[in-house]
A and B are shown apart, each in its own frame.
Chain A
Amino acid sequence: MVDMPRTDPGAGISRPAGWEGIVADWSSDQRAFKNVSWGKAMMWIFLLSDTFIFSCFLLSYMTVRMSTVEPWPNPSEVFALNIGGRHIPLILIAIMTFILISSSGTMAMAVNFGYRRDRFRSASLMLATALLGATFVGMQAFEWSKLIAEGVRPWGNPWGAAQFGSSFFMITGFHGTHVTIGVIFLLIMSRKVFRGDFDRERRGFFTSRKGNYEIVEIMGLYWHFVDLVWVFIFALFYLW
């Protein structure tokens, strides 16, 4: 921190709170985000832009679903599975939801243990998060293969409106890509934490800058966002 004065998060002066605080923080030629480092602020702004991307996907899905004259395939039936001779609707998606929520829980605790400088627990929880994320992607791959085998294509499917396939592959594909990228970064971060990079201020291989445990929280922001997007996809695409 000492040799990076530009990332000083706001010099510890007491600031007004509430609406006055918003005006005071944003007015005049100064930093708007007082006690947030540039890394965290930039991750939030990236997530904001990603929000708009997923919003556009969900909006186009809404538009094609509302304007089609063909019946929309019933997701409850499409994503049902036969387990032990019983036909359970939407069960695969429910399990995927619980897995992703659990990975968010382990990630939140990894951040907490990171700030406590308990690097073994922090790294193991991040590893657990990565494993849960990989499980999620695996189940998504299973779901895709099942649907492709049943004849779902971006241009048509056996049950109704052709737009079902294109919306499905676009939305879940983009989300799955985000999860995959998250898993890769979790593995990298987990290794860095386990090795004690942030205790010994080892310089990063890419940026050549010293890191600290806030990087775990920034990683966490990305991971929770992936979970957050799934909350919306689950509600609007699978349950609607």
Chain B
Amino acid sequence: MSQVATHIETQQHHPIKLYLVVWGWLFILSTCSYLVDFFGLVGYLRWGLILLFMVLKAGLIVAVFMHMAWERLALLYAIIVPPTLVLVFVGIMVFESNYTLFSRLAFFVVGR
């Protein structure tokens, strides 16, 4: 019996309204990020807004649609922490691309 009880306890019972609200927010955020392009914003404002809306949308999807907000932290950290290490890889590749670009500009396009 305890097994059955635990099983029911682990199921996700949320009102449908919650999903509709999140759906609405995802629409609003997507519209906002589309408007960033539509109005032709440039520079740090553009990149900042794009990243902001991206992170908010990703957070809503993972937390509510994928039910991560109601999981135990042991699972949450096991899944969320490793991808953040990709940022280190991003850092490495930024240095690498700058170096490649420098080499190309310094040694290959001088004559043009």
Contact = CB atoms under 8 A, between A and B. Distances in A.
B74 interface: yes
Given A36-B72, A51-B83, A69-B101, A235 B50 contact: yes
Contacts of A15: 72
Interface string A65-77: 0111100000010
A11 B2 contact: yes
Interface stretch (A100-108, A134-142, A144-152, A194-202): A100-108
B72 A224 contact: no
A1 interface: yes
A112 B20 CA distance: 12
Contacts of A213: 11
Nearest to A228: B61
A59 interface: yes
Interface residues of A, number: 72
Contacts of B26: 101, 104-105
A12 B74 contact: no
Contacts of B66: 220-221, 224-225
B69 interface: no
Given A25-B74, A52-B83, A239-B33, A111 B12 contact: yes
Contact of B34 (A25, A94, A112): A94
Contacts of A109: 16, 19
B44 interface: no
A234 B33 contact: yes
A21 B101 contact: no
A224 B73 CA distance: 20
Contacts of A174: none
Contacts of A224: 61-62, 65-66
B30 A101 contact: yes
A154 B36 CA distance: 28
Q: Is the interface of A mostly helix, strand, loop or mixed?
A: helix
Contacts of B65: 104-105, 107-108, 220, 224, 227
A1 B4 CA distance: 7
Given A8-B6, A66-B97, A112-B14, A18 B73 contact: yes
Interface string B61-102: 110111100011111011100110010011001101110110
B40 to A, nearest CB: 8
B51 A67 contact: no
Interface stretch (A27-35, A164-172, A179-187, A203-211): A27-35
A63 interface: yes
A220 B53 CA distance: 23
B19 A55 contact: no
A22 B74 contact: yes
Contact of B73 (A17, A59, A217): A17
Interface string A47-67: 110011001000100111011
B33 A12 contact: no
Given A66-B97, A220-B66, 4 more contacts: A9-B7, A12-B2, A34-B72, A232-B54
Interface of B: 2-7, 9-14, 16, 19-20, 22-23, 26-27, 30, 33-34, 36-38, 40, 46-47, 50-51, 53-54, 57-58, 61-62, 64-67, 71-75, 77-79, 82-83, 86, 89-90, 93-94, 96-98, 100-101, 104-105, 108-109
